[in-house]
Amino acid sequence: MRLTVFGTGYLGATHAACMAELGHEVVGVDVDPGKVAKLSDGVTPFYEPGLEEVLRRNLDAGRLRFTTSYPEAADHADVHFLGVGTPQKKGEYAADLKYVHAVIDSLAPLIERPSVIIGKSTVPVGTAAELGARARAAATAEVEVAWNPEFLREGFAVQDTLRPDRLVLGLDSARERADWVAGLVREIYAELLEAQVPFLQTDLATAELVKVSANAFLATKISFINAVSEVCEATGADVTILADALGYDARIGRRFLNAGLGFGGGCLPKDIRAFMARAGELGADHAVAFLREVDNINMRRRTKVVDMAAKACGGSLLGANVAVLGAAFKPESDDVRDSPALNVAGMIQLHGAVVSVYDPKALENSRRVFPTLNYATSVADACDRADVVLVLTEWKEFTALRPEDLNPVVRSRSIIDGRNCLERARWREAGWVYAGLGTP
């Protein structure tokens, strides 16, 4: 099939490349000529394992191309995926839909034959219905709007697109062409459906709520174990063993029960805040009031690590040399949006420390956010004459570290494990002062 994908950020570029991998003829559309030029040359503007190979393979095969031209995109296909960003509004919790609206307002007047716009972006509930009315008012032909939320995990985006754990499609069942839309989507994902990927067809509102509800649940699970870790710190209990014990309960499971610095990135923080904002607009803010405490717990872990660093340096960070290993919000990503690691590095610098940051992939993005931090080219460079070392992103390069790797370069043998990802017994036996979150 012929498809377009509007937006070539993390979501859009991944979806475009993977739809081409499924055999479709895809045009990716973006208003940024720089992004379009990079992608056309087979270069992704962000780090995602495996994506560049898929991108280049399909560019070479002629199934994928990129453009800034909306008329070209409208002429190419009758099925248009919407994958632009929905960031948090400045000074508010609500999602900013200006990019979503811009696509609809630019595309709809160009549609001259029956078409469908399929949303992938995470939006507040009620957005799809509003966009449908908006598109139909501007188009000269019939336009349907459906919603097919994404469930991408950074570091696993290609896998999550080509073999997702479920497909969700939201339709306006009151529309005469709803069955036509469902048939198109089933055709697009035919290979996935043949592979027995579950397919759930819902109304528009349910589809919109699935992604944000999933993120809210995961955020709650992470903040739950971090709240428990605070109790562990007060009692001398070990949160890692406690989490293992909880994980054996089939009703709970072990995943996302890793106590530590907390969650970040471009999805969970802004999505739960947008969920709270939209619930408030609907008069149901009491129903998700607990998410405010989820957010508070998450942010509190960052200040906790700053306090731990100050304690490790004798009570004050003024003039201390602090090594921060990790800047991305998670491993296998260069994403530093709302990154706990980079946030902690910035706060420590504001307390007067000299901070050296190293990350295998996220240094360039980090410099844009915090240009005043020092950025190292290796672990050894970052830890040179360090008074304390902080491990804040669980890259394999860091979890594999041994005390003897750092003994020759640090000034003080003190390490803070912000992700509880190191073997603390090994570090203590080697004479290091080890501190973790929620561990004795």
pLDDT at 419 (0 to 100) = 98
User: What fold is seen in the domain 238-436?
Assistant: Rossmann fold (3.40.50)
Of the pLDDT bands very low, low, confident and very high (cuts 50, 70, 90), residue 192 is: very high
Strand order in the sheet with 115-119: 64-67, 25-29, 2-6, 79-82, 115-119, 143-147, 167-171, 199-203
d(CA 361, CA 329): 11
pLDDT at 182 (0 to 100) = 97
pLDDT at 257 (0 to 100) = 96
pLDDT at 366 (0 to 100) = 98
The per-residue pLDDT for range 296-309, each reduced to its tens digit, is 999 999 999 999 99
Give the pLDDT mean for 377-392: 98
Of the pLDDT bands very low, low, confident and very high (cuts 50, 70, 90), residue 437 is: very high
- Closest to 397 (Cα-Cα) out of 313, 321, 339, 327: 327
Q: Which parts of 338-407 are beta strand (E)?
A: 354-358, 374-375, 388-391
pLDDT at 407 (0 to 100) = 98
- What residue segments make up the domains of the chain, in order of their start? 2-197, 238-436
Of the pLDDT bands very low, low, confident and very high (cuts 50, 70, 90), residue 156 is: very high
The per-residue pLDDT for range 7-42, each reduced to its tens digit, is 999 999 999 999 999 999 999 999 999 999 999 999
> 3-state DSSP call for residue 262?
coil
pLDDT at 157 (0 to 100) = 97
- Closest to 407 (Cα-Cα) out of 392, 439, 437, 429: 429
d(CA 323, CA 125): 43
Q: What is the second-level CATH architecture of the domain 2-197?
A: 3-Layer(aba) Sandwich (3.40)
pLDDT at 351 (0 to 100) = 98
pLDDT at 349 (0 to 100) = 98
Of the pLDDT bands very low, low, confident and very high (cuts 50, 70, 90), residue 324 is: very high
The dihedral region occupied by 221, where left means phi > 0, alpha psi between -120 and 50, and beta the remainder, is alpha
Triad 42, 45, 47: Cα angle to 5°: 95
Of the pLDDT bands very low, low, confident and very high (cuts 50, 70, 90), residue 245 is: very high
Give the pLDDT mean for 164-189: 96
What percentage of the chain exceeds 70 in pLDDT? 100
**Which amino acids are annotated catalytic?**
267
d(CA 6, CA 81): 6
The per-residue pLDDT for range 85-112, each reduced to its tens digit, is 999 999 999 999 999 999 999 999 999 9
Average per-residue pLDDT in the chain? Answer: 97
pLDDT at 220 (0 to 100) = 97
pLDDT at 169 (0 to 100) = 98
d(CA 254, CA 180): 41
d(CA 352, CA 343): 15
d(CA 226, CA 259): 5
The count of other CB atoms within 10 Å of the CB of residue 305 is 26
Q: Which parts of 127-253 are beta strand (E)?
A: 143-147, 167-171, 199-203
Give the pLDDT mean for 427-433: 98
d(CA 39, CA 358): 27
Tokens 């609809």 sit on residue: 104
Give the pLDDT mean for 138-165: 96
CATH topology agreement for domains 2-197 and 238-436? yes
The per-residue pLDDT for range 206-222, each reduced to its tens digit, is 999 999 999 999 999 99
Give the pLDDT mean for 414-438: 97
Element (H, E) at 82: strand 79-82
d(CA 377, CA 436): 25
pLDDT at 440 (0 to 100) = 92
Residues 6+ apart with CB under 8 A from 346: 370, 373
